[in-house]
Amino acid sequence: MRDVLPVLGRWYAAGVPFGLATVVQVSRSAPRDPGAAMAVGPGEEVVGSVSGGCVEGAVFELAQEVAAGGEARLETFGYSDEDAFAVGLTCGGEITLLVRAVTAERDPGFGAVADSVAAGEPVTVATVTDGPAPRGAALAVWPQRTLGTLGAGGLDAAVTADARGELALGATGLRHYGPEGQRREDSVSVFLQSFAPPPRMLVFGAIDYAAAVARIGDFLGYRVTVCDARPVFATPRRFPEGVEVVAAWPHRYLRDTVTDERTVICVLTHDPKFDVPLLTEALRRPAAYIGAMGSRRTHADRARRLAGAGLTGRELSRLRSPVGLDLGARTPEEVAVSVAAEIVALRWGGSGAPLTATEGAVHPQRPS
């Protein structure tokens, strides 16, 4: 979708209706991921792809129908063991597409979404795919505002909260609700498509704990990098597939790396010659979370060294040390759960207390 949005934005601005097909669900060896899109516009012009060629002919006809005034459609394409060469995915996969018409009347937020994506501003688009809600209805959700509706106030509120959660991770996928947004029901299916890069997790110190933290960071949707100055430890084979491993002095690597308000920094080096210059750099730059491993004695010594390096009390207050929540963790995997729990609690304003000991909404609105 990101690739074809510039063209779609021009069609939309010109007031030209177009049919938009979006992959909302896949199974087995489907060639495209959820969010892949194909559109049919004026003069039968086609942009994008949903399957790499397997079903584009059928999708072209569907997109033309809805653009001409037809209702939004939910279609599944796949193959059968009896006839693998019928119209479908001969590779053996299966994709489900939402095909809908896009006009200013049907989707008032589309132009603003296209502008935000072009400007690099994060936004999530929620679209009803199935159930007792208007299929194809769209709600655009930014961190501080929304545009459009899914047809019910309760549904809009629940989806908005979840859309911002998905946006924090740059995630895309289906969610299910009741007609008024009830989370324990699944009659309404909504596709949430986030236009934001995954946030970064920077793990410093290539120890066993780092491997566990990197694994859970990858599971939570972060783009994980592990950095250590010692090449013998900073080797990809010691870490999960997909985790970037860098052999460099930590503070120098961080100095040359862009961070933002979603970035997570975990310092597991345990050595003042690494910790102090690294944390001096980290505590003076944008980041959502900065945690450092060590005992309380280590933390006290580290804090004195950082103060001696010129950090202010306000800068030092950003440091989460000792790292993690009090779970009684012992093993590297348990410590990683503790660290991840603290990161999630900080992101959403959670107390870290057992839910049985708290009152009010289980999923409160995100703090401003």
Q: What is the pTM of this model?
A: 0.66
- With helix as H, strand as E and coil as C, how does 171-200 read? CCEEEEECCCCCCCCCCEEEEEEEECCCCE
Higher-confidence residue: 221 or 139?
Answer: 139
Higher-confidence residue: 366 or 261?
Answer: 261
Structure tokens at 360: 């009010």
Q: Do the Cβ atoms of 3 and 35 come closer than 8 Å?
A: no
Q: Cα separation of 307 and 310, whole Å?
A: 5
SS3 44: helix
Mean residue pLDDT of the chain comes to 89
pLDDT-based confidence at residue 280 (cuts at 50, 70, 90)? very high
Q: What share of the chain is helix, strand, coil (3-state, %, to 5)?
A: 35, 25, 45
* Amino acid occupying residue 295: S
Structure tokens at 340: 């991840």
Q: 141-190: per-residue pLDDT in tens?
A: 999 999 999 999 999 999 999 999 888 777 889 999 999 999 999 999 99
pLDDT-based confidence at residue 365 (cuts at 50, 70, 90)? low
pLDDT-based confidence at residue 84 (cuts at 50, 70, 90)? very low
What are the distances in angstroms from CA 45 to CA 42, 98, 114?
6, 19, 19
What are the distances in angstroms from CA 210 to CA 221, 251, 329, 332?
16, 17, 15, 8
91: pLDDT strictly greater than 80: no
pLDDT-based confidence at residue 31 (cuts at 50, 70, 90)? low
DSSP-assigned letter for residue 236: G
Which residues share a beta bridge with 247?
228
